[in-house]
Chains A and B, each alone.
Chain A
Amino acid sequence: MKPVATTKTTYHIPIGPIHPALKEPVYFEFEIDGERIIDVDVKLGHVHRAIEWASRKRNPIQILYLAERICGICSYCHPIAFALAVESIADIQVPERAEYLRVIQGELERICSHILWAGVVAHEMGFDTVLYFTWQIRERALDLTEYLTGNRITKGITMIGGMRRDITKDMIPRIHKDLQYFKEYYKKLEKIFLNDKTIKMRSQGVGILTKEDALKFCAVGPTTRASGVKKDVRLGTSYFAYGDLDFDYITPDVLTGTINGDVFDRIVQRLLEINQSILLIEQCIDKMPSGEIVAEPNLSKLLAQLKKVNGEGIGRHEAPRGEVIHYVKLDGNESPYTWKVRAPTYNNILPWIPMLKGNQIADIPIVAASTDPCMSCTNRVAVVKDGNMYEMTKEELHCLSVEKTRRLMK
């Protein structure tokens, strides 16, 4: 946003970086006319933790646990995307059974994340009974996660070339029982969110993201699918066992018949995805072949193998919030040459601008929460020099680029 020339009719409201309405640090600058938002600017970079830098003195197995700590809710999709990238460099073939196990864990994480989000969005509306109701369901999902992986949040189940823990036959009845519970409660949740007057009043026609804007701003995940864009990494590319499973793109018109791209549609979209995830886990359990769960059980051999390889790889995974991309370059050393993370919220920040414009101040929390933002995932680059932190403007970046070209031409 340009420096604001304050006129008589509009005024300027800064919100953040630390604010009671925000769960994580992010800085908004609003241009307000009465109650209406005219212009928005978003500034990021308050929770940069230099995780990529920390990776440069660790080996790939250690980085799995570092990646897990990028974000608490996406504690499976970051290490798995990293593992996918490293597997593509080292050309490791993941066993068939591990591919199915990976789908199960990924979908279980999606259920946890979406149910948590449903609670948060109800909380932002001031409907706290639904918050407690949804988190009660989430508790069950977390218990199942603990049963399958050993931990509730930081699962520690990913390994390069497979998984660390198998699902044995005696675990399957418990999974079926919990899935039945989720199905039952999903129906109740659907009834609450689709029929309740409070939710309809606050979410219908609020924070509209049109299909054109969703495409223009490269929104990802449920945010873009709620606007009618059929974009899903699980279907767009073939990875894990998703190719063998029977499922299709979901847009909110499956349930409501129309696509408006408002907050209500994003609620419907995520509810539908919870159901889809339950069905996917069921399919996986039925179809799962027996066999090995990791390509190279001897970890010291695996480390030696990774130490030899050269090259770069990309890992893409459909996280609960959208597509997460990890870029890794290995150069024959113990630790990677570089590692770059692009979290889904990075793409879902810009769509906030068309969503917020024209809405009221009171709609800010609900619209912002409707994309399920995660700041600790997003903040990836900060430039610190001589003790001062500054952001790079477009011109500076252009200058740097020109300088680099000249340097390379020498």
Chain B
Amino acid sequence: MKFSMLPQVLTQMFKKPWTNKFPVKYAPANTTKFLADVGAGKTKIVPPIETPLNFRGKIKYDKEKCIGCQLCLKVCPCEAIEFKPEEKKIKIFLARCCFCSQCNDICPVNCLSMSNEFLLADADPYSKDLIVE
């Protein structure tokens, strides 16, 4: 066939786009105002696609369970974990984290786990949302 792509192109024209327009279809003129509106419940955002099973999102840390063995510090590939010697607990800087969940695997008391939370963009790498302790 001379134009073998043509039938595909024609069928494609009448198909729904694959892209999920998260968080909104068009960029709002004023982002701060838009976010305030969403907070007040005036406007809605397009929901994101559900995360798959065993997704590696923001780390959850159960401080009570932690025994301060420092094994997670040893395997962390990006040195995102800091040890607090006076408390014998850890502090995770998510701005450095590569979400490999290796610390979850090595933890002897299972005090670390991965949540489904993935909206972690922030202008400040040391903001409260990006430090788990």
Q: A147-B52, A188-B8, A299-B105 are in contact. Are A62 and B3 (CB under 8 A)?
A: no
List B contacts of A61 (CB < 8 A): 75, 77, 102
| Alpha-carbon separation in the docked complex, A303 to B76 (Å) | 13
A12 at interface, CB cutoff 8 A: no
Which partner residue on chain B sits nearest A139 by CB separation? B18
Q: Contact: A129 with B9, CB < 8 Å? A: yes
A156 at interface, CB cutoff 8 A: yes
| Alpha-carbon separation in the docked complex, A129 to B11 (Å) | 13
Contact indicator per residue, chain B 72-86, by CB within 8 Å of chain A (1) or not (0): 001111100000000
Q: Contact: A151 with B56, CB < 8 Å? A: yes
Nearest 7 interchain pairs by C-beta: A65-B77, A62-B77, A156-B100, A299-B106, A196-B4, A192-B4, A129-B5
Q: A196-B3, A300-B71 are in contact. Are A65 and B98 (CB under 8 A)?
A: yes
Q: Contact: A133 with B8, CB < 8 Å? A: yes
Q: Contact: A165 with B54, CB < 8 Å? A: yes
- Which chain A residues numbered 139 to 185 have a C-beta less than 8 Å away from chain B? 139, 146-147, 150-151, 154, 156, 164-165
List B contacts of A146 (CB < 8 A): 52
B2 at interface, CB cutoff 8 A: yes
List A contacts of B101 (CB < 8 A): 150, 156
Q: A65-B98, A150-B56 are in contact. Are A299 and B2 (CB under 8 A)?
A: no
List A contacts of B9 (CB < 8 A): 129
Among candidates A62, A127, A136, residue contacting B76 with C-beta atoms closer than 8 Å = A62
Q: Contact: B100 with A65, CB < 8 Å? A: yes
Among candidates B4, B55, B75, B77, residue contacting A150 with C-beta atoms closer than 8 Å = B55
How many A residues face the partner with a CB closer than 8 A? Answer: 31
Among candidates B4, B55, B76, B106, residue contacting A300 with C-beta atoms closer than 8 Å = B106
| Alpha-carbon separation in the docked complex, A229 to B105 (Å) | 44
A42 at interface, CB cutoff 8 A: no
Q: Write the residues of chain B forming the contact surface with A, with a CB cutoff of 8 angstroms.
A: 1-5, 8-9, 12, 18, 52-56, 71, 74-78, 98-102, 105-106, 108
A195 at interface, CB cutoff 8 A: yes
List B contacts of A62 (CB < 8 A): 75-77
Chain A binding surface SS class: helix
10 contacts between A and B (CB under 8 A): A61-B75, A61-B77, A62-B76, A62-B77, A146-B52, A150-B101, A154-B98, A164-B105, A196-B2, A196-B5
List A contacts of B100 (CB < 8 A): 65, 154, 156
List B contacts of A195 (CB < 8 A): 1, 4
Looking at the assembled complex, report how far the CB atom of A193 sits from the nearest CB atom of chain B, in whole angstroms.
9
Which partner residue on chain B sits nearest A129 by CB separation? B5
| Alpha-carbon separation in the docked complex, A273 to B98 (Å) | 32
Which partner residue on chain B sits nearest A194 by CB separation? B4
| Alpha-carbon separation in the docked complex, A343 to B24 (Å) | 42
Q: Contact: B5 with A66, CB < 8 Å? A: no
Q: Contact: B56 with A303, CB < 8 Å? A: no
Which partner residue on chain A sits nearest B55 by CB separation? A150
A276 at interface, CB cutoff 8 A: no
Among candidates A65, A147, A150, A188, residue contacting B102 with C-beta atoms closer than 8 Å = A65
